[in-house]
């Protein structure tokens, strides 16, 4: 005969000795014989009346908890269902024997020893103890509590006896090194803790409180949650523990911590017993409204719906199920059937306040008019079949494992059991491979840790229209889904989400500064540095970007350069084109009067070349306007350098012509022979080619290039032409300056030579203006910001060009156009007095 024993626990405050004596008297409680007998141990009793023990009679019976009795009877129902099947264990009849562990670890261990050894102690009616022998159990289902299950798993694992629990959720039991024979049909708290942390993060709660049962269930579950919460960036204001047997002062202290806390969200990893006591204590002096996050041990417990302070609570529960035929099975109970089991007898008598065995203790005798269908208690409430379904699946799992050991495809061999001396080990190995679907559609299988796939319903306590509170499923969690897709929300009625943060979010442009000695969720808001935006912390924008007005994102910096549509560019363009136009007009006037004395006397060839170079000087300033590009940067500097050298070379040639002309008037002088027109052209060409050579070297070695200036202005980009080689740039300017200085010296020496129209005077003035412009240009160029640097350079070009043009050509044009009488050879030779110049 095969004995399979099922354990469960719900909590018994009784003395373990008293509880043990009562439990021993109930061995004949819920039982049925069969080819293989499945035993069950549940914590059917949750507390004992406080009466002094006289030690002259058995202790008073603990009161029966209807909810646990219903779960225990699920074992009976499943066994009958399996016996009625032809595809599972055909020809084999399963039996059962159910005990009460009284939620005591010593009782759970004692029962495990008895089952492993095949010895049972019986407390009989003659108040004497006797022993009856039975076969050692090959498998165990239970216990409900994590702590009793841990103790049993250590013991049964030594014998290789598999244990399947329907309600022990401690993540510690997944350790196959310590608990090699442990299985369960309820998910490990490792998944629930991670799901709770994700849930808290989903609603934006970063400041929470935590309270737990001081048991393996609460301590390991909360440890897993706190680890997951830390990874999600959630801070915990407090973490308190309590166990129902601890002094009341400890419970009051925990309640006061909750009342004084600033966190508006509290995560409760509590057993139903501790939760009941905590809510009763908080009811005496209710705390401010807060959001409760509950574990599966209490969040689906109908008893707690009466506490309005928990309205809006959310948490994870085992999926609600429907077991066809189970309600009818529970209600198919008559007084005669109840008399067959002390457990059912006690349930009947306590439910109807009568006695089945006749009047006793002042209670009336049950008369048969009692209607179990009229009862409204946890036993008859099958609307929340959650843990009950775990018992259903656990019983089926062991049945399938037995089937895999003694049955083939068509039949089962009872004789095989008698020759298999290590049937527990065979069932243990078979349990690792079971994979089936129950009649109500639930998949049953175990991973390498003996755990099932984690499936949870997200439960929310919502008010109904009549003002009552009920459970509403608002989402699901499935650990088999890909990472990040485990949650599936279905908010039919979205509850009001409270705010629970230690510090409010920092405004734009500030960063979080953690307060000393406090969690990272508690911080002050410090302003971000310039150019930074705030996300989780101040982040420096890339070089080409700048914060927007809200300081929450980086936008591309505006690019600044001297564009064509800029007002300053329009003004400079007008002056540039005007200067070029005037130069062309003067050239036309000179060409029309090319045979006149004043034009011929001032070296008309150099004058036309000078006008051409001045026109280029005016126009080259336009190359500085517009978006800098690689070609425009190279063109603007080289064109400026070459055209100005050409201009100064012409002026220098004219100055030398004046000096040579007056030297040629001296007796015996042949100066003009050595500085005639060919030599003048050669000198201009030579001076210009030197500048061309400098520019070619500059462009070859390190040419100018477009450059984004990010240093001058932080909030915008200055697009300008970098010099490339500073030596090349200053060499070009230096050469222009050298020629201008040489021209000035020669013109200064020739200023007092006799002539009514000595051009050297005007060249001297023009060189003074030219030098003044470019001397003042250097500091202005260096100090001008952004596009004004280019504007200063254009202004210097135009100013110096206008200075040269005005000083050299304005007097001549004035005589040609307004004083034609002075445009004679005699007047120019000084033979006719003139006061004009």
Residue 23: per-residue pLDDT: 41
Q: Is the pLDDT of residue 279 over 80?
A: yes
Question: Could you give the CA distance from residue 137 to residue 139 in angstroms, rounded to a whole number?
Answer: 6
Residue that has been written with the tokens 């070296």 in this structure: 603
Residue predicted with more confidence, 663 or 235:
235
Q: Which residues of 41-70 are buried (b: 16+ CB within 10 A; e: fewer)?
A: bbbbbbbbeeeeeeeeeebebbebbbbbbb
Q: Is the pLDDT of residue 835 over 50?
A: no
Q: Which tokens in the block code for residue 520? A: 């990272």
Residue 495: per-residue pLDDT: 60
Q: Is the pLDDT of residue 35 over 60?
A: yes
Report the predicted TM-score, pTM, of the whole model to 2 decimal places.
0.65
Q: Is the pLDDT of residue 391 over 90?
A: yes
H or E stretch covering 196: helix 189-202
Instruction: Evaluate whether 796 touches 640 at the Cβ level (below 8 Å).
Output: no
Question: Could you give the CA distance from residue 298 to residue 388 in angstroms, rounded to a whole number?
Answer: 15
pLDDT grade for 516, boundaries at 50, 70 and 90:
confident
Exposure of 668 in the CB half-sphere (CA atoms within 13 A):
0
Residue that has been written with the tokens 């803790």 in this structure: 193
Least confident span in 244-258, 260-274, 375-389, 657-671? 657-671
Which residue, among 103, 124, 349, 121, has the nearest Cα to 243 in the 3D structure? 103
Residue 498: per-residue pLDDT: 83
Q: Is the pLDDT of residue 832 over 60?
A: no
Residue 836: per-residue pLDDT: 42
Q: Cis check for the bond before 659: say yes or no (omega within 30 of 0).
A: no
Query: 545-547 and 554-556: which strand pairing?
Result: antiparallel
H or E stretch covering 217: helix 216-231
The SS3 of residue 540 is: strand
Question: Could you read off the pLDDT of 184-233 as tens digits, one per residue?
Answer: 999 999 999 999 999 999 888 999 999 999 999 999 999 999 999 999 98
Average pLDDT, the chain: 80
Residue 222: per-residue pLDDT: 95
Query: How far is it between the farthest Cα atoms of the chain?
Result: 168
Question: Could you read off the pLDDT of 717-759 as tens digits, one per residue?
Answer: 888 888 888 888 888 888 988 888 888 887 777 666 655 445 6
Question: Could you read off the pLDDT of 414-442 as tens digits, one per residue?
Answer: 666 555 555 788 889 999 999 999 999 99
pLDDT grade for 400, boundaries at 50, 70 and 90:
very high
The SS3 of residue 478 is: strand
Mean pLDDT of 477-501: 77
Mean pLDDT of 320-328: 93
Residue 283: per-residue pLDDT: 93
Q: Is the pLDDT of residue 456 over 80?
A: yes
What whole-number percentage of the chain has pLDDT above 70? 82
Residue 743: per-residue pLDDT: 81
* CB neighbour list of residue 129: distance below 8 Å, 6 or more residues apart: 121, 122, 123
Residue that has been written with the tokens 């830390």 in this structure: 230
* CB neighbour list of residue 323: distance below 8 Å, 6 or more residues apart: 74, 77, 382, 385, 388, 389, 392, 440
Instruction: Evaluate whether 760 touches 807 at the Cβ level (below 8 Å).
Output: no
Residue 445: per-residue pLDDT: 95
Mean pLDDT of 768-789: 74
Residue 814: per-residue pLDDT: 81
pLDDT grade for 129, boundaries at 50, 70 and 90:
very low
Instruction: Evaluate whether 746 touches 762 at the Cβ level (below 8 Å).
Output: no
Mean pLDDT of 470-474: 90
The SS3 of residue 737 is: helix
Q: Which tokens in the block code for residue 745? A: 């010296």
Q: How many CB atoms lie within 10 A of CB 491?
A: 11
Least confident span in 42-51, 106-115, 326-335? 42-51
Q: Which tokens in the block code for residue 204? A: 């934006």
Per-residue H/E/C for 622-686 = HHHCCCCCHHHHHHHHHHHHHHHHHHHHHHHHHHHHHHHHHHHCCCCCCHHHHCCHHHHHHHHHH
């Amino acid at each position: 005969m095969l004995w399979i024993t099922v354990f469960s626990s719900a909590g018994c405050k009784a003395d373990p000795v008293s509880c043990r004596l009562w439990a021993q008297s109930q061995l004949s409680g819920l039982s049925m014989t069969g080819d293989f007998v499945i035993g069950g141990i549940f914590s059917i009793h949750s507390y004992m009346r406080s009466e002094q023990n006289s030690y002259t009679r058995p202790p008073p019976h603990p009161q029966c908890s209807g909810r646990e009795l219903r779960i225990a009877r699920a074992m009976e129902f499943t066994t009958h269902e399996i016996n009625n099947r032809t595809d599972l264990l055909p020809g084999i009849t399963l039996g059962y024997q159910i005990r009460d562990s009284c939620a005591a670890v010593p009782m759970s261990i004692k029962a495990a020893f008895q089952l492993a050894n095949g010895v049972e102690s019986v407390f009989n009616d003659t108040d004497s103890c006797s022993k009856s022998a039975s076969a050692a159990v090959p498998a165990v289902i239970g216990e409900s509590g994590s702590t009793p299950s841990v103790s049993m798993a250590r013991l049964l694992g030594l014998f290789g006896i598999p244990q399947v629990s329907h309600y022990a959720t401690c993540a510690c039991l997944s350790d196959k090194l310590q608990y090699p024979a442990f299985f369960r049909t309820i998910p490990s708290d490792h998944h629930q803790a991670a799901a709770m942390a994700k849930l808290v993060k989903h609603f934006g709660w970063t400041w929470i409180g935590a309270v737990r049962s001081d048991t393996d269930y609460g301590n390991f579950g909360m440890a897993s949650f706190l680890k997951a919460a830390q990874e999600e960036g959630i801070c915990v204001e407090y973490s308190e523990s309590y166990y129902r047997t601890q002094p009341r002062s400890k419970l009051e202290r925990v309640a006061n911590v909750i009342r004084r806390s600033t966190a508006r969200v509290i995560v409760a990893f509590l057993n139903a017993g501790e939760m009941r006591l905590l809510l009763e204590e908080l009811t005496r002096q209710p705390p401010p409204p807060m959001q409760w996050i509950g574990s599966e041990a209490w969040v689906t417990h109908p008893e707690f719906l009466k506490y309005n302070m928990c309205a809006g609570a959310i948490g994870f529960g085992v999926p609600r199920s429907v077991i066809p035929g189970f309600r009818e099975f529970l209600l198919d109970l008559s007084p005669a059937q109840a008399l067959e089991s002390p457990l059912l007898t006690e349930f009947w008598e306590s439910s109807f306040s009568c006695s089945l065995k006749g009047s006793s203790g002042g209670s009336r005798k049950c008369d048969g008019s009692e209607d179990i269908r009229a009862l409204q208690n946890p036993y008859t409430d099958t609307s929340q079949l959650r843990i009950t379904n775990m018992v259903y699946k656990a019983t089926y799992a062991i049945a399938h494992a037995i089937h895999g050991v003694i049955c083939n495809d068509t039949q089962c061999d009872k004789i095989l059991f008698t020759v298999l001396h290590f049937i527990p080990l065979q069932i243990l190995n078979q349990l690792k491979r079971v994979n089936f679907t129950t009649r109500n559609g639930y998949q049953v299988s175990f991973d390498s840790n003996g755990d099932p796939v984690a499936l949870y319903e997200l439960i929310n306590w919502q008010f109904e229209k009549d003002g009552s509170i009920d459970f509403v499923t608002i989402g699901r969690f499935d650990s088999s889904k890909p990472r990040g897709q485990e949650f599936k929300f279905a908010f039919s009625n979205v509850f009001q989400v409270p705010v629970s943060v230690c510090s409010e979010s920092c405004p734009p442009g500030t960063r979080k500064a953690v307060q000393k000695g406090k969690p990272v969720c508690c911080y002050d808001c410090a302003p971000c540095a310039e150019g930074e935006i705030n996300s989780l912390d101040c982040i420096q924008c890339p070089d080409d970007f700048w914060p927007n007005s809200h300081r929450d994102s980086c936008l591309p910096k505006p690019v600044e350069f001297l564009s064509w549509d800029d007002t300053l560019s329009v003004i400079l363009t007008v002056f540039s084109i005007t200067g070029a136009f005037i130069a062309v007009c003067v050239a036309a006037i000179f060409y029309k009067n090319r045979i006149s004395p004043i034009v011929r006397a001032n070296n008309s060839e150099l004058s036309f070349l000078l006008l051409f170079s001045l026109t280029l000087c005016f126009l080259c300033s336009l190359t500085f306007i517009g978006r800098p590009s690689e070609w425009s940067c190279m063109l603007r500097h080289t064109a400026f350098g070459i055209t100005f050298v050409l201009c100064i070379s012409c002026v220098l040639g004219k100055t030398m012509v004046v000096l040579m002309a007056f030297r040629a008037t001296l007796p015996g002088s042949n100066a003009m022979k050595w500085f005639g027109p060919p030599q003048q052209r050669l000198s201009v060409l030579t001076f210009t080619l030197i500048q061309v050579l400098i520019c070619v070297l500059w462009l070859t070695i390190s040419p100018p290039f477009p450059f984004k200036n990010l240093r001058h202005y932080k909030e915008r980009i200055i697009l300008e032409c970098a010099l490339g080689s500073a030596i090349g740039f200053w060499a070009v300017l230096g050469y222009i300056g050298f020629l201008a200085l040489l021209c000035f010296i020669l013109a200064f020496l020739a200023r007092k030579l006799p002539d009514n129209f000595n051009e050297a005077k005007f060249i001297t003035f023009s060189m003074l203006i030219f030098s003044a412009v470019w001397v003042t240009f250097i500091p202005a160029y260096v100090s001008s910001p952004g596009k004004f640097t280019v504007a200063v350079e254009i202004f210097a070009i135009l100013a110096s060009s206008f200075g040269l043009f005005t000083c050299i050509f304005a007097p001549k044009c004035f005589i040609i156009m307004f004083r034609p009488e002075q445009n004679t050879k005699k007047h120019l030779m000084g033979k006719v007095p003139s006061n004009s110049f």
